[in-house]
Amino acid sequence: MIKILIVEDEKPISDLIRINLSEAGYYCDCAFDGLSAAAMIDENKYDLILLDIMLPEADGYELMEYIRPQRIPVIFLTAKATVHDRVKGLKLGADDYLIKPFEIVELLARVEAVLRRYHVGQTVVEIGDVVVDTGSRMVKKENSEVQLTKKEYELLIFFIQNNNIALSRDTIYEKIWESDYMGDSRTVDLHVQRLRKKLGWENLVTAVYKFGYRLEIDNEAVVETFR
Ligand code: CA
């Protein structure tokens, strides 16, 4: 699910944005001042940040300096409609800006446009009867949803990205569990087994002797589309 951080100190505006983005299928977190926003950005992976300029603690411009190296797309929310402020925001690396008050349809359109530019959540991959939608994190087989755990899903995406490449257990472990491989190959094996079973991919995810696993799909059978 696409995660959006809303940094806005005016509660009614924050609520309005959160409710509408949630209804549109996005996951939203809210920060009401600059410092807690920075802390939340450190702890979470956001796909997009909506950033107010006038904020307590640290303002939107200061936060932008902090966010920019992390390459998270940003839309400024601003009541300041002057050319100077808009230019300043864009120069700091914002992707777009919205002038308050704004219509919800405009907010949604800009959010979608920025996410599309970053290809966030836009990919739909079809592999035989399995369809993976990275936007909704939905996986379907023969049109019915397959329930995958977070790790199983990440494993699936990692296999797809490395189709036809043998992946060692170490590499898989370090990528999916984001920590150093401690030699516990059972974790990887168990997850691969479950993924195979859920997708009916017993013959597609093959074991590489004393090494790891490989997803084996004819590249021509993989259809990738950007919505
Ligand atoms: Ca404000």
**Distance between Cα 78 and ligand 1 center (Å):** 8
**Distance between Cα 15 and ligand 1 center (Å):** 13
What is the average per-residue pLDDT within 1-14? 94
Identify the residue whose tokens are 């704004």: 102
**Distance between Cα 24 and ligand 1 center (Å):** 24
**Distance between Cα 25 and ligand 1 center (Å):** 25
The whole domain housing 16 covers 3-117
**Distance between Cα 77 and ligand 1 center (Å):** 9
- Above 80 in pLDDT, residue 219? no
Query: Under 8 Å CB-to-CB from 188, ≥6 apart: which residues?
Result: 169, 172, 173, 176, 212, 213
Return the CATH number at 178: 1.10.10.10
**Distance between Cα 75 and ligand 1 center (Å):** 14
Return the CATH number at 17: 3.40.50.2300
**Distance between Cα 178 and ligand 1 center (Å):** 36
Last residue within a domain, chosen from 117, 140, 172: 117
What is the average per-residue pLDDT within 89-105? 85
Q: How many domains, the chain?
A: 2
What is the average per-residue pLDDT within 109-119? 84
32-36, 60-64, 94-98: segment of lowest average pLDDT: 94-98
Residues 74, 16: one domain?
A: yes
Residues 84, 50: one domain?
A: yes
**Distance between Cα 33 and ligand 1 center (Å):** 9
User: How high is the pLDDT of residue 66?
Assistant: 87
State pTM to two decimals.
Answer: 0.56
- Above 80 in pLDDT, residue 84? no
Q: Percentage of the chain with pLDDT > 70?
A: 93
User: What pLDDT band is residue 195 in, cutting at 50, 70 and 90?
Assistant: very high
**Distance between Cα 10 and ligand 1 center (Å):** 6
Query: Read out DSSP for 140-182?
Result: EETTEE----HHHHHHHHHHHHTTT-EEEHHHHHHHHS-S---
User: How high is the pLDDT of residue 226?
Assistant: 56
**Distance between Cα 35 and ligand 1 center (Å):** 14
> Is there a contact between 192 and 205 (Cβ–Cβ < 8 Å)?
yes
**Distance between Cα 151 and ligand 1 center (Å):** 38
**Distance between Cα 41 and ligand 1 center (Å):** 18
**Distance between Cα 226 and ligand 1 center (Å):** 35
Residues 88, 153: one domain?
A: no
The H-or-E segment that residue 29 falls in is strand 27-31
User: What pLDDT band is residue 65 in, cutting at 50, 70 and 90?
Assistant: confident
User: What pLDDT band is residue 81 in, cutting at 50, 70 and 90?
Assistant: low
Nearest to 158 by CA among 146, 149, 170, 167: 167
Most confident of 27-36, 110-119, 181-190: 27-36
Residues 128, 186: one domain?
A: yes
pLDDT tens for residues 155-176?
999 998 888 999 999 899 988 8
What is the average per-residue pLDDT within 178-188? 76
**Distance between Cα 183 and ligand 1 center (Å):** 50
Last residue within a domain, chosen from 79, 102, 117: 117
Residues 111, 144: one domain?
A: no
